[in-house]
Amino acid sequence: TRHLQRSERLRHSRHATALVGYTNAGKSTLLNVLAGASILAEDRLFSTLDPTTRRVHLSGGIEILMSDTVGFIEHLPRQLMAAFKATLEEVLEAELLVHVVDAADGLAEEHIATVHTVLDELGARSREMLYVFNKLDALADRTMLRYWERKFRPSVFISARTGEGMEQLRGYLSRWADRIAPRLCLRIPQSEHRVLELVAKQGTVFSRIPDGVAVVVQARIDRRFIHALRRFQVPDVWT
C-alpha cells in the first residue's frame, strides 16, 4: 500500500525528481541540505534501501519533490539485482534525474558509465538529466572540472558539505521547474467547475481573487494543460 501511495504521489506531481548516482556519491547528504531533512547519510553500501521523498522549496514559490535512491554499484551480484531494481521505481516516475557524482573519486567517469548502464536496463536513460559533481571540498586538483563541464551537460559543481555551488544548483532546479510548469494568470468563470478543479489539482495556486462572475487565479500550471487553459489566460499581474 505504501508503495502504491508513493508511486501515485510521484505520478501526479508537477515536479518529480530523483537523485541517482554511484554509491557514496553524497545523494542523501545533498537531499538533507536541499530539503532541510534528516535522512540517513552513511558511507555504507545500500544504506538507502527504502527510497525517501522530500519536498524542496525553491525561490519564486516553487516546490519540487525529490526522491533519494539506493546507490548504484558495478558488478552487482545477480541474486541482488531484482531487489536493487525494485528500489528504483522513483526513477521511472521522475521527470528529472539528478545524477550525483563524487568528483573526488578517481573512478568518477567509470561510475557515471555504470549509472548509465543501469538506467539503460531500467528504460530510463532518455530521461532529462542534470549532472551534479559533488565533494568539491575533497578535490585538490580542479583541472578536470572544465573537461567534465563540456562532456557532461548540463552540469553543476558543488560541495553539499560546505555549501559551495548550492545556489547554482538551486537556480537550475528553479529554472527547470519554471519551464515545465510556467506561471499563468487566468480569469475563469465560476460556472467552469471542471476548469477550476483542474487548476487546483494540476497546478500550484498562489492566489484566487473573485472578479464578478469569475475568479482570477495566479498559478503554476503543468505545461501539459496549458493548451486547454489558454482561452482563460489574461495579462499577467504577477507580483
pLDDT digits (tens, 9 = 90+) for 43-57: 554 444 445 888 898
**Is residue 187 domain-shared with residue 152, that is, in the same domain?**
no
CB 48 within 8 A of CB 28: yes
Tell me what pLDDT residue 1 has.
Answer: 43
Give me the number of domains the chain comprises: 2
The mean pLDDT of 90-112, rounded to a whole number, is 94
d(CA 160, CA 28): 10
β-pair type (62-67, 53-58): antiparallel
Tell me how far apart the alpha carbons of residues 103 and 136 are, in angstroms, rounded to a whole number. Answer: 7
Q: How confident is the model at residue 74 (pLDDT cuts 50, 70, 90)?
A: confident
Q: Is residue 78 part of a domain?
A: yes
**CA–CA gap between residue 239 and residue 2 (Å, rounded):** 39
Q: Determine, yes or no, domain membership for 239.
A: no
Q: Do 111 and 207 fall within a single domain?
A: no
Nearest 5°: the CA angle 137, 139, 142 is 115
User: Model pTM?
Assistant: 0.79
Q: Are residue 13 and residue 35 in the same domain, yes or no?
A: yes
* Strand blocks (E) in 46-110: 53-58, 62-67, 96-102
Residue 75 domain-assigned? yes
Residue where a domain stops, chosen among 179, 194, 223: 179
AA letter at 176: W
Instruction: Look at residue 130 in the predicted model and tell me its pLDDT.
Output: 99
Cβ burial of 46 (10 Å; 0-12, 13-18, 19+) is middle
Q: What is the pLDDT of residues 189-228, one digit of tens each?
A: 999 999 999 999 888 888 999 999 999 999 988 888 989 9
pLDDT of 86 strictly over 80 = no
117 inside domain = yes
Same domain, 170 and 188: no
Residue 197: C-alpha distances to residues 24, 115, 178, 205, 226 (Å): 43, 40, 21, 11, 15
Domain shared by 136 and 172, yes or no = yes
Distance of CA 107 to the CA centre of its chain: 25
Q: What is the pLDDT of residue 46?
A: 45
CA distance 161 to 98: 17
**Same-domain check for residues 59 and 149:** yes
Domain assignment present for 6: yes
- Domain identity same for 131 and 194: no
List the domain range (segments joined by +) for residue 154. Answer: 2-179
Residue 80 in domain: yes
Same domain, 129 and 221: no
In the listed set 146, 161, 179, which residue is the last one of a domain according to the structure?
179
CA 151 from centre of chain: 21
**End-of-domain residue from the set 179, 201, 223:** 179
103 and 17 co-located in one domain? yes
Q: Does one domain contain both 81 and 15?
A: yes
Sheet holding 62-67, edge to edge: 53-58, 62-67, 16-20, 96-102, 128-134, 155-157
Task: Write out the H or E segment, with its range, that includes residue 205.
Answer: strand 203-211
Classify residue 45: in a domain, yes or no.
yes
In a domain, 238, yes or no: no
Do residues 26 and 53 both lie within one domain? yes
Residues 144 and 188 in one domain: no
